Amino acid sequence: MLDFCGPFEVFATTTYPDSDRHDLEAKPFNVFTIAEKADLVKCRGGLLVQPHFTIENHPPLDILLVPGGWGTRREAQNAALLNWIALQDKTTELTTSVCTGAFLLAERGLLDNLSATTHWASLDRLQAGYPSINVQRGLRYVDNGRIITSAGVSAGIDMSLHIVARLLGEATARETAKQMEYESSEFLPTDSQQ
């Protein structure tokens, strides 16, 4: 759940500097969920999520975030979903994955000849299944420019704050982390490292 909820929280919390946090115009990101079908999605522990859109009716995407989890093993065989991911990648500014979502990017060659990471327990499987990927160990996220992958679960928060810093500046990322009461040295250098 945190694979998508953590990044969702980051992007939904982010506002432009010096703006009213409750002003929708101050929100640089229009955050929403997409699923293959409009049905409720049952997550780990029984959490039910109603997607905002389907792969057939969503607005254009600037950033695509593909979460991981046990379902990625099944979805790695879902041609409709994989083709949709590959099609979105042609027009997104950023295509990203959290945890084992990297396997869905890898299935359509989006990680070929790039560095990438995934959940620590799946690093060997990623390397064995996709030898053209330079699998990185011990990193919270790997930024290749347009394609960014993160390690497992909570690492998606660090990756998302990194994206906020890239797009809107470190001060905005730090303010977002502060609003979330999230402390991590992984997404930005600390004041003493600058």
Q: What is the pLDDT of residues 59-80, one digit of tens each?
A: 999 999 999 999 999 999 999 9
Nearest CA-CA partner of 149 in 109, 86, 103, 92 = 103
What is the model's pLDDT at position 1? Answer: 92
Please give the helix or strand (H or E) that residue 97 lies within, else none.
Answer: strand 94-98
Round the average pLDDT of the chain to a whole number and report it.
Answer: 93
Under CATH, domain 2-193 is a member of which superfamily?
Answer: Class I glutamine amidotransferase (GATase) domain (3.40.50.880)
**CA of 140: how far to CAs of 81, 130, 174, in Å?**
26, 20, 17
Burial of 101 (0-12, 13-18, 19+ CB in 10 A): buried
Helix (H, G, I), strand (E, B) or coil at 84: helix
Model pTM score: 0.93
Q: What is the pLDDT of residues 102-158, one digit of tens each?
A: 999 999 999 999 999 999 999 999 999 999 999 999 999 999 999 999 999 999 999
